[in-house]
Structure 1
Amino acid sequence: MTVAGIITAIVIGAIVGMLGRLVLPGRQPIGVLLTVGVGILAALLGTALAQEVGVSVTDGVDWIELAFQIGLAAVGVGLVSAVRGGRSRSGRY
């Protein structure tokens, strides 16, 4: 993977992760790096899932693939938020 590919994955992951957080109600107690990580994973899994169900590649924005990615990001952010359970950085509850 090239440097441009890595940077693109980070940018797409950040966008997908933030959109995933946006569709969830309430506040999620996770940081930006976790959001980007969940977004990158959701983007990769969403692309694979879209290809598996037969969504073809288009010249423009593939809205169905993007919907898969955002949906998976929302699930991922929700799972990470539930696991973290609102822990604070200071260690107090």
Structure 2
Amino acid sequence: MLWTILGWLVFGLIAGFIARALVPGKDDIGCLPTILLGVVGSVVGGFLYGLFTGGFRGFEPAGWIGSVVGAIIVLVIFNKVTGRKRRSRR
């Protein structure tokens, strides 16, 4: 059980960090929000994969690519909703 939780934390950190690196602009979020971003992104990626393949079995985690894609989607939506990363108009 402990190894499963630790694995999810490391997996979420890596997927969230890759998503943050691929989305343009600076993110002022810490390690815990990055982990949360990766874990939520993995669930979103698994959900989208299930919708596109017809194998939808509920909310389940995705692999590395699906997790990063899901984390990118979550990060972009988060930035739009919170108004973060807006470019200044000078």
Q: TM-score, with normalisation over the residues of structure 2?
A: 0.67
Are residue 11 (structure 1) and residue 2 (structure 2) matched?
A: no
* Cα separation, partners in 2 of 1:52 and 1:79, compared to 1, 3 Å: closer
Which position in structure 2 is the counterpart of 1:85?
84
Aligned residue number for residue 40 of structure 1: 39
Structure 1 spans left out of the alignment, 5+ residues = 55-63, 87-93
Deviation, 1:40, is: 0.8
Q: Cα RMSD between the aligned structures?
A: 2.7
> Offset of 1:48 from its aligned partner?
4.1
Q: Aligned-pair distance for 1:25?
A: 0.8
Q: Is 2:46–2:67's contact at 8 Å kept on the other side of the alignment?
A: yes
Greater relative CO (CA pairs within 8 A, separation 6+): 1
CA distances 1:3-48 after superposition (whole Å, capped 9, x unpaired): 1111100000001000110111111122221111010111233234
- Aligned partner letter, 1:4: W
TM-score (norm 1): 0.65
- Following superposition, the deviation at residue 52 of structure 1 comes to 4.8
Count of aligned pairs:
78
Q: Which range is displaced more, 13-22 or 70-79?
A: 70-79
Q: What whole-Å deviation, never above 9, does each CA across 1:48-89 have from its counterpart, x for those lacking one?
A: 4334544xxxxxxxxx94322111111222333441737xxx
